[in-house]
Amino acid sequence: MNWISSQYARHWRNINLVLACILSLMLIFGPKVINNYVSQGILSSLYYPFFKLKRGYELLKMDAVDITDFRQALMESSVRLSIYEERIRENDRLRSALGFDPPASYKLFPTKIVSVSGTIIPSRVVVNRGASDSIAVDYSVINQQGLVGRVESVGPDFSAIQLLTDPGNRVAARVASSREMGIVKYSPTDGMTLGHFPRNGKIVVGDTIITSGLGGVYPPGLVVGIVSDVIRFEKEPFCNVSLEPIVNFRSLEELFILMQERLQ
């Protein structure tokens, strides 16, 4: 066996030439059956490597298409899941808001925000309801947390809402426990405060501030904020009362307009 290998290694060119001549003579002068076998053998030996290469390329191409389709399906599923989760969150917020008991003779009218304006913090928003929905100026606006603001202007299909964070907005309010009154206002430097509150008035950190109903804009009992700090000055008639707004004005989404029900 070793002798055959060594002889082939020394004379491989001559051997290949002789084999080629023999195959050629068989193709020219051999019987038809032998010619067919020889032809098929030659074609198979020459074509098979290229066939395997082509097949491998086609399989890789199919795998790439499958991966692309899988990625697209995965992305679509992820988007649908995100939308579904957002709808669950929205449903929870609406359920929470619907658990709020509006003041007597009022009903809740749901709206959605379409635009927001403000610099450091939102001071105005526009909602998707207007005069065609019987919305009017000075209607109170709330969310599931508490008082948000009032309707400032009305168009046919939209309304502009002035938030409590607008420095021009004022709310007649009172301490829920002691019933003593003041004026809630907001400034970019001081935040939300309860002004014109007597220095000797009964108020402590943690007290809830609600609307008093005075002024005719906001109905009584709507939660505005929680007292976060009280500073009393001996020679001043009023104390400085800082409030933590009950509403997170940076995450407003669904709002409800308080509409007064018509008497039958």
DSSP state of 261: P
Mean pLDDT along residues 17-40: 58
Q: Quote the CA–CA distance of 182 and 198 in Å, as a whole number.
A: 8
Q: Give me the chain's average pLDDT, please.
A: 79
> Does the residue 30 lie in any domain?
no
Q: Quote the CA–CA distance of 217 and 138 in Å, as a whole number.
A: 6
Q: How many domains are contained in the chain?
A: 1
pLDDT band at 6 (very low <50, low <70, confident <90, very high): low
- Which pTM was predicted? 0.65
DSSP state of 27: H
> Does the residue 137 lie in any domain?
yes
> Does the residue 140 lie in any domain?
yes
The CA distances from residue 139 to 22, 89, 94, 198, 221, in Å, are 105, 27, 20, 29, 15
How do residues 138-189 score in pLDDT, each as one tens digit? 999 998 888 999 999 999 999 999 999 999 999 999 999 999 999 999 999 9
> Does the residue 17 lie in any domain?
no
Q: Quote the CA–CA distance of 25 and 29 in Å, as a whole number.
A: 6
Residues 136, 137, 140, 141, CA torsion sign: positive
Greatest alpha-carbon span in the chain: 130
Q: Looking at residue 216, which CATH number applies to its domain?
A: 2.40.10.340
> Does the residue 76 lie in any domain?
no
Mean pLDDT along residues 107-136: 93
Print the domain residue range for 211: 106-260
